[in-house]
Amino acid sequence: MIITNKLKAMITRLRARVARLEEIFEMFQMTAYKELLAAQLSPEVQISAEYNSTGQVDVLTTGSSTAGAEDGEFFATSGTGATDVAAIFSKNQIIPRHGQGSLFRFSARFDGGVADTRLSAGGSTASDAVLFGYSGVNFGTFYNHDGAVIVYELQVTGAASGGENATVTINGTGFTVPLTAATVQENAFEIAESLSSQVALFNFSQNDDTVVMRSIIAGPETGAFTFSSSTATGAFTQLGAGVDTIRDFTAQTDWNVDKKPDLDPSKTNYYSIRHNGDIEYYVQDEDTGAEVLAHRQGLPNTLTRSIFGNASFRMSWFVSNTGSTTPVTVRGSHGAAFVEGLKKMRLPTHSAEGDATGVGTTLTNIATIRNRIVFGTKVNLGRIIPSVISAFSEGTKGTEIEVILNADVAGVTNFEYIDKDESIAEIDRTPGAVTGGTLLASKVFLTDTEINLLIFNDLIQSGDSLTIAMRVIQNPAADMGGAGVWEEEF
């Protein structure tokens, strides 16, 4: 009887252990044949500041704020204005794929505990974000959502008949824009160029007879958008209303997994955030080096809306004064974003071409492909992936082709949509002289050639352009043309 009872107790313990092992195995994804399913990380963003370079990032400041890289760290410091903003954003972004998670890993240290300020680090867009940071005096995690930027179009309906100054009002503030006697397309170009140099926290671009514009930070309109001039006419159309972002902040003291009581945010720490439905916030343990789950933002089965308006996040370090006039700083040495699993998919393919007659020894634009700043009614966060450039020339003494990122094309350019509803690209075929920019590839050929750009892994981000420029090595001038093929990921 004693042996039987002991045996029963042993069997009970074994069953409990088996059940526990089954629970552990359920934590791992399996194939249909119960093989362990492993997913490698596909890096989308990897930036660092060890050389104090800002070539991998964009910098945003208002008022007396500053941002940049020093002592091996990116930094963003608010100014003394009550609404000053400073930010560092990676040029590249992670574009999430359905069925695969997104992961951020980054370092950060914060000036902490200042009322009426916000400091954060993590993944963000203008409208959505997943972040660690301070809200006033409290450290914790952010889940930002439901914001929207202001999006407008200004169509030039009548061209200026002579030289004149137009007044363009942007969100309640008037700006003087010089116009020349020209076409509606040229006046639209002049307006976009002038406003880009005058208006903070807005982006502008010309397309045909229209100026497309959007705010950089989410928030509502506080003033009017109007156009007036002595002879030129124009009309504004609102594409998207600005909406303040909702910031769901969870203080460290309310984290629901591990409150990490020894965490000192003023010291350099390593953080991770992953999301695919719910959002998980991790802090690296100082003793073991392991990523420890600190807080889980459980969202599935709780919402009647999308979790994010757009989850194509950039790595960011951001600080803003929300009433305070005391400068505060956030710093970080590096950041990365990954898609969990392989990225192998079929993307929409597009192509376009351009040509020019009588091209001489001056490098001349044949076609410039630009990534739009607005797609539909939202900020365009997609990217263009160039694949193949082809070119021909009737020159008899050799032709040079250069493929240039963000080149300057002299004169008035005129961009047009490839497909307004289905493509994030637009094209300019104005044969102006080309200078500046970053040379991606070049080649000298006699009659025709191709350049495979996929081997360079270069991307055209929102607002960036790729120029196919050509010239003869030696006169006489020649007729020539070029074409580009690319994929679009959004």
φ/ψ region of 49 (left if φ > 0, alpha if ψ in -120 to 50, else beta) reads alpha
| 363 lies in the same domain as 465 | yes
- 11 to each of 23, 24, 179, 337, 392, how far by Cα in Å? 18, 20, 89, 47, 80
| pLDDT tens digits, 53-74 | 999 999 999 999 999 999 999 9
Looking at residue 354, what is its pLDDT? 96
Q: How far apart are CA 190 and CA 422, in angstroms?
A: 27
pTM of the shown model: 0.87
| 266 lies in the same domain as 137 | yes
| 178 lies in the same domain as 48 | no
| 232 lies in the same domain as 120 | no
- Residue 12, domain member (yes or no): no
Residues 6 or more apart whose CB falls under 8 angstroms from that of 225 comprise 152, 154, 169, 170, 171, 236, 238
Query: Residue 23 pLDDT more than 60?
Result: no
Sign for the CA dihedral angle at 84, 90, 91, 97 comes to negative
More confident call, 87 vs 42? 87
| 90 lies in the same domain as 121 | yes
Residues 6 or more apart whose CB falls under 8 angstroms from that of 345 comprise 97
pLDDT above 90: percentage of residues in the chain: 82
Q: What does 312-328 look like in DSSP terms, one character per residue?
A: -PEEEEEEEESS--S--
**Residue ending a domain, choose from 185, 215, 240:** 240
Residues 6 or more apart whose CB falls under 8 angstroms from that of 5 comprise none
- Residue 35, domain member (yes or no): no
The answer to whether 56 and 293 have CB atoms below 8 angstroms apart is no
pLDDT band of residue 40 (cuts 50, 70, 90) is confident
Residue 296 lies in domain: 41-144+246-340
Q: How confident is the prediction for the chain on average, in pLDDT? A: 92
Query: Residue 237 pLDDT more than 80?
Result: yes
Tell me the CATH number at 384. 2.60.120
Looking at residue 99, what is its pLDDT? 81
> What's the mean pLDDT in 133-140?
97
**Residue ending a domain, choose from 340, 363, 390:** 340
| 254 lies in the same domain as 217 | no
289 Cα distance to chain centroid: 31
The answer to whether 224 and 168 have CB atoms below 8 angstroms apart is no
Length reported for the chain = 490
- Residue 200, domain member (yes or no): yes
Q: How far apart are CA 286 and CA 269, in angstroms?
A: 9
130 Cα distance to chain centroid: 15
Looking at residue 344, what is its pLDDT? 73
pLDDT band of residue 50 (cuts 50, 70, 90) is very high
- Residue 259, domain member (yes or no): yes
Count: domains in the chain: 3
- 84 to each of 63, 80, 288, how far by Cα in Å? 5, 7, 39
> What's the mean pLDDT in 261-271?
96
Closest CA to 193 of 183, 178, 208: 178
Q: How far apart are CA 169 and CA 82, in angstroms?
A: 24
CA neighbours within 13 Å on the CB side: how many for 49?
26
**Residue ending a domain, choose from 340, 369, 394:** 340
| 372 lies in the same domain as 474 | yes
Query: Residue 242 pLDDT more than 90?
Result: yes
Q: How far apart are CA 333 and CA 107, in angstroms?
A: 6
| 139 lies in the same domain as 254 | yes
Q: Which of 7-16, 43-52, 328-337 has the lowest mean pLDDT?
A: 7-16
Looking at residue 101, what is its pLDDT? 87
Closest CA to 209 of 194, 228, 191: 191
- Residue 22, domain member (yes or no): no
pLDDT band of residue 174 (cuts 50, 70, 90) is very high
| 358 lies in the same domain as 230 | no
- Residue 53, domain member (yes or no): yes
Query: Residue 250 pLDDT more than 60?
Result: yes
The answer to whether 133 and 120 have CB atoms below 8 angstroms apart is yes
- Residue 474, domain member (yes or no): yes
Looking at residue 25, what is its pLDDT? 52
SS3 per residue for 175-237: EEEEECCCCHHHHHHHHHHHHHHHCCCEEEEEECCEEEEEECCCCCCCCCCEEECCCCEEEEE
Looking at residue 97, what is its pLDDT? 81
pLDDT band of residue 389 (cuts 50, 70, 90) is very high
Query: Residue 434 pLDDT more than 90?
Result: yes
- Residue 18, domain member (yes or no): no
| 370 lies in the same domain as 476 | yes
pLDDT band of residue 3 (cuts 50, 70, 90) is low
Query: Residue 1 pLDDT more than 60?
Result: no
Sign for the CA dihedral angle at 398, 401, 407, 409 comes to positive
| 93 lies in the same domain as 197 | no
Closest CA to 105 of 91, 123, 93: 123
More confident call, 101 vs 211? 211
Tell me the CATH number at 129. 2.60.120.200
pLDDT above 70: percentage of residues in the chain: 94
Closest CA to 311 of 93, 60, 47: 93
| 173 lies in the same domain as 130 | no
